[in-house]
Chains A and B, each alone.
Chain A
């Protein structure tokens, strides 16, 4: 029994179909080029040199490693008209919480990853995030949230949130039960993917048969969806995330700012 998720690794293996993994990266990263584009996953490394990042958390090495892998694609395609798509496979339980991480500037490492993904998007690489497991907080900001298109598999284990339930309860001075009750009536506080979808941030949600270990049919379905998402990317900005009723204030603030600018 392992204490960490294997979803990211299993989806990476399925989508990469034996393609050679890029080397020179931390062992907790899997990166490979396939017909679809460059796949990037953060996976659990029980031997991670940083003990607080052994369960698939995004830590110092993961943040800077992602930045390097994305930068490598940007440089390689600089002179090309066709920029390879980047596909972030997201199964990240959290950022790494630890003394070494804070001391050595984990915020800067995560900024490195976010910067690289955002620059890739602005350079014309279609960037897609495929959520197959948890997409939590700082970890998701570094790995996935800068994508042009977000796709989530429909499953109770797929969740986006700013903080785990126990910590969120403690910080907001509520019990976990109170937090859950509130979450059921306040969509941005909920942990389930349907509530998240109601915020308008996802491009697509998709059901599969076996989320832990995809079947051939699952793989075909997700591959087709990724192709469509890549084809759908038309601009480098994130404006396609705006427009949902549950995110109306985000649009209204922008309209008012523009009028008063």
Chain B
């Protein structure tokens, strides 16, 4: 295939909305949405603060199959309120993961896929968003007793706040070049720590630390994929087939503590230092 033909055949995943992304990953015809937008289960908190709500509260829950395996997908719509999680959207994700774990206890091997485009807690619903994210964390850990949870950060919002911790809990993480993954948003770090520490307007700097390529090169994610629907779908399918990882990243405390003990923390850090520290002795 020529380069231009390859380009024409490429379908961007990043450009898709949450519902289209979920459909694109599932086997043809298997998509079934739960709490679809026509049911209008919306945020009870936004209107009273003068914020226009969205019919699905920015979260799509879909059941279906991927390469024949039973899966539930939770997809966050990054375009609505920055993908922030409020009470309803958060409960949709937590509840879906809880039911997936329950399936497994009943002998149905439901896996989960999280499509993460989110700044974390929706500040208009602050403590209810935070509580929902704690529930999501609990449910991911519960489900992973049985089946993998695959997280996808495709871009363009990225994955931040409490949901970056959810990403860190996933059995596997897949990112594209457009993805960013980090706990704190650049603006907040700059506000709390100063522009010397973190310049929120310096995009190359931010990407060099938290972008998809760097995260992959540092071993903090498992797959680095082009922004292409077919490739992302194949890779997610492969990860699901692998079953549970022998040692999940979030259960490697000793290893990370050892590595961090070897870091000289006097000078400010560079991206290459992270790659060397975490990947230098990889066999």
Top-9 shortest CB links A-B:
A111-B168, A107-B164, A118-B141, A67-B253, A253-B91, A145-B134, A97-B192, A115-B250, A162-B121
Question: B28 in the interface, Cβ–Cβ < 8 Å?
Answer: no
Question: B225 in the interface, Cβ–Cβ < 8 Å?
Answer: no
Min CB–CB distance A168 → chain B (angstroms)? 5
Question: A52 in the interface, Cβ–Cβ < 8 Å?
Answer: yes
Question: A104 in the interface, Cβ–Cβ < 8 Å?
Answer: yes
Min CB–CB distance A6 → chain B (angstroms)? 22
Q: Are A112 and B131 in contact (CB under 8 A)?
A: no
Q: Are A61 and B260 in contact (CB under 8 A)?
A: yes
Separation of A99 and B269 alpha carbons in the complex (Å)? 7
Question: B178 in the interface, Cβ–Cβ < 8 Å?
Answer: no
Stretch touching chain B among A80-88, A136-144, A206-214, A223-231: A136-144
Chain A's closest residue to B257 (CB) is A64
Within the complex, which residue of B41, B124, B188 is in contact with A256, where a contact is CB–CB below 8 Å?
B41
Query: What bracket does the count of chain B residues touching chain A fall in?
Result: 35 or more
Stretch touching chain A among B6-14, B18-26, B94-102, B226-234: B94-102
Q: Residues of B contacting A152 with CB < 8 Å?
A: none
Q: Residues of B contacting A104 with CB < 8 Å?
A: 260, 263, 269, 274, 277
Q: Are B162 and A137 in contact (CB under 8 A)?
A: yes
Separation of A171 and B253 alpha carbons in the complex (Å)? 33
Q: Are A109 and B256 in contact (CB under 8 A)?
A: yes
Min CB–CB distance B126 → chain A (angstroms)? 4
Q: Are A253 and B35 in contact (CB under 8 A)?
A: yes
Separation of A161 and B96 alpha carbons in the complex (Å)? 25
For this complex, 27 residue pairs linking A to B, each with C-beta atoms less than 8 Å apart, are A49-B265, A64-B257, A67-B253, A71-B251, A102-B209, A102-B210, A104-B260, A104-B274, A106-B182, A110-B165, A111-B167, A115-B141, A122-B142, A142-B165, A145-B137, A162-B123, A171-B123, A186-B49, A188-B128, A199-B128, A248-B44, A249-B41, A250-B91, A253-B35, A253-B88, A257-B35, A258-B99
Q: Are B181 and A189 in contact (CB under 8 A)?
A: no
Q: Which of A214-261 contact B (CB under 8 A)?
A: 237-238, 241, 247-250, 252-254, 256-258, 260-261
Min CB–CB distance A144 → chain B (angstroms)? 9
Question: A65 in the interface, Cβ–Cβ < 8 Å?
Answer: yes
Q: Are A61 and B257 in contact (CB under 8 A)?
A: yes
Q: Residues of B contacting A163 with CB < 8 Å?
A: 121, 123, 126, 188
11 further contact pairs, Cβ within 8 A, besides A247-B128, A258-B99? A67-B253, A71-B253, A97-B184, A104-B260, A114-B165, A138-B165, A141-B137, A162-B161, A163-B121, A189-B127, A261-B99
With A107-B165, A137-B162 in contact, is A238–B188 under 8 Å at CB? no
Q: Are A115 and B169 in contact (CB under 8 A)?
A: yes
- B contact residues vs A (CB 8 Å cutoff): 34-35, 39, 41, 43-45, 48-49, 61, 63, 87-88, 90-92, 94-96, 98-99, 120-121, 123-135, 137-138, 141-142, 145, 161-162, 164-169, 181-185, 187-189, 191-193, 197-198, 209-210, 215, 218, 220, 248-254, 256-257, 260, 263, 265, 268-269, 271, 273-274, 277
Separation of A44 and B96 alpha carbons in the complex (Å)? 38
Separation of A64 and B260 alpha carbons in the complex (Å)? 10
Separation of A172 and B193 alpha carbons in the complex (Å)? 19
Chain A's closest residue to B164 (CB) is A107
Question: A78 in the interface, Cβ–Cβ < 8 Å?
Answer: no
Min CB–CB distance B274 → chain A (angstroms)? 5
Min CB–CB distance A218 → chain B (angstroms)? 26
Q: Are A253 and B41 in contact (CB under 8 A)?
A: yes
Question: A89 in the interface, Cβ–Cβ < 8 Å?
Answer: no
Q: Residues of B contacting A45 with CB < 8 Å?
A: none
Separation of A241 and B87 alpha carbons in the complex (Å)? 13
Chain B's closest residue to A25 (CB) is B257
Separation of A107 and B41 alpha carbons in the complex (Å)? 30
Q: Are B130 and A140 in contact (CB under 8 A)?
A: yes
Within the complex, which residue of A99, A116, A249, A252 is in contact with B198, where a contact is CB–CB below 8 Å?
A99
With A64-B256, A167-B192 in contact, is A188–B184 under 8 Å at CB? no
Q: Residues of A contacting B125 with CB < 8 Å?
A: 188-189
Chain A's closest residue to B36 (CB) is A260
**Centre residue among B184, B251, B273 by max chain A CB count within 10 A:** B184
With A107-B182, A257-B92 in contact, is A141–B165 under 8 Å at CB? yes
